[in-house]
Every structure is written in C-alpha cells, then in structure tokens.
Amino acid sequence: MKLLRFGEKGAERPGLLDEDGRVRDLSAHVPDIAGPALLPDTLARLARLVPGHLPLAPVDARIGPCVGSVGKFICIGLNYRDHAAETDSPIPEEPVIFNKWTSAIAGPYDDLCIPPGSTKTDWEVELGVVIGKGGRAIAEREARAHIAGYCVVNDLSEREWQLERGGTWDKGKGYDGFGPIGPWLVTTDDIEDPQTLPMWLEVDGHRYQNGNTRTMIFGVDTIVSYCSRFMSLQPGDIISTGTPPGVGLGQRPPVYLRPGQTVRLGIEGLGIQQQYVRGAA
C-alpha cells in the first residue's frame, strides 16, 4: 500500500495511490498520514478499503511530504563503507546518530532553495524508515513489527556548515527544505526485504549515486533497535538510514549544487523525487 499526502503546503490531505497511479482521497477514513494512522491496526483497516470506491484527488494536486506531524527526524551517518571512504572518515563501530529538524521536511517535488551564503550544498539519497508502533529498548528481532513503512529521503547537506563551522553536524543538515520525503510511504507488506533495494541520484541527468541498501553497515532492524536504546520511538518518527557513495563532497574535485539544476533520485519500489534548485531566498 502506498500512502501519501496531497494539497498545498500546510493543508495536505491523506491519500492512497491506486494501482493505476491515481491519487485517492482518504480524508473520510483518517485525518492525516501521521501518528495514530500509522499504527498497525489502522494500516490494516486502510488496506481493506477498495481504492476504486474512494474519491479521486485533483489531478494537478501537489504531492506533499508523505508523513505529517513528524515528531523526530533521526539520521544515521556514514552507514555505507564506501561512502565513509569517499569522505575520508573512519568506519563507525556503532551507528552514528544526528538529527534533521522537522522544519527541514519538504515535499518530494518542492523546489530546493540554496541557503544564503551557501557554497557547498550537497545531495544524499537515503532509505527512510517510518515508525508505526512506538517503543523503546526494542529488540532487533522485534524491530520490523515497529515499522509502518519506507520512503525516499534526500538528506541535503551544507558541507561547510556541517564540517567546517565547529560543533555537531546538525547545523549543516537541518536548513528549511533540506529533508524532502516521499513521494509515498510504502507499507512493509509491499517491501519484501528493505536490504535489497537499488537506489540512485542524478543531477541534470548525470548519475552520481548508484547504490543498494544491501551494502549498509548497519541494517534497518539494527538501526531501529539501536535508536530505541537512547530515545522512545513514536508513530510517525522518521529514521533516514545513510547514503551510498557518490555525494558531491566525494567527487574529485568536490561538486556542489547550483541554481538552475535539477536533482532526481529514487529507490526501487518507493518512487522518485525531483527538485529544481533555486538561489537563496
């Protein structure tokens, strides 16, 4: 099942993608794709609906972030060995946790505005894990039962702010619009194995990233369990699980985004994002 949110920013409605690629309105069944709507019982109820009986959304409706009212936007750094190598970073012995602010969340096709003064805005295609059933101290063997589904994340990063300005990475990761999610939240029943998903990213048609979730250092179950040791996980929380090699920082010489470019990225079974890059606003 592919769940989504459609409509203008701040006024998105819950939706479902039918087998013909049309958006169906779920407003009569859940108030939003958020919080309680992501609990296992609610997802099971939505899965029993007949899509053809649901009203169609306007064909020109904007597709918004696939999850609303996100409480925590957790990220895992350096989770692919070859990405750690391209950034001259040591292989982590435990998952590296940092945060994106929830104000960074954007729709999958929204324009990307480079921050004022930025010269090193970079891209990162990542698998997002959306929590359904909350919990803490979750055992790895139980982790999958706590996941509502998966989505594409572009973990955009300002590398100067992240790496050259002191302190933690967070200041370079959380600028407004630096966390496009979606287009869909794909529930776990539609993804047989989250550790075998091809993923890619292109800028102006040039493919920079071409990876697969099978090369993660720490897999999805390990990450969910590990994060739950340090915080309670709640319905609608998002964990972005790291990026494969091919980021702009890792090019020789480095390559960063410029106004007028177009970024496209996708993960097999989870859809494709596209962002047009604009100058500082």
Per residue in 218-273, pLDDT (tens digit) is 999 999 999 999 999 999 999 999 999 999 999 999 999 999 999 999 999 999 99
Q: Domains of the chain: which residue ranges?
A: 64-278
The more confidently predicted of residues 89 and 210 is 210
User: In the structure encoding, which two tokens stand for residue 195, read together?
Assistant: 């550790």
Q: Is the pLDDT of residue 281 over 80?
A: no
Report the chain's mean pLDDT, rounded to a whole number: 97
CA dist., res. 42 & res. 180, Å (int): 25
Q: What confidence score (pLDDT) does residue 178 get?
A: 98
Q: Is the pLDDT of residue 44 over 90?
A: yes
Output the CA angle 148-98-124, nearest 5 degrees: 75
User: CA 219 to CA 243: how far, in whole Å?
Assistant: 12
Q: State mean pLDDT over 192-208.
A: 98
d(CA 142, CA 212): 24
Residue 280: predicted pLDDT: 84
Which two tokens mark 222? Answer: 């390990």
Fold observed for domain 64-278: Fumarylacetoacetate hydrolase; domain 2 (3.90.850)
pTM: 0.97
Q: What pLDDT is recorded for position 75? A: 98
Per-residue confidence (pLDDT) for residue 85, from 0 to 100: 82
* Helix or strand (DSSP H, E) at 96: strand 96-99
User: What pLDDT shows up at residue 82?
Assistant: 82
pLDDT of amino acid 167: 87
Instruction: Give CA separation, 127 vs 19, 113, 186, in Å.
Output: 23, 22, 11
Does residue 143 register a pLDDT over 80?
yes
Q: Tell whether the model's pLDDT for residue 88 goes beyond 90.
A: no
Return the percentage of the chain with pLDDT > 90, whole number.
94
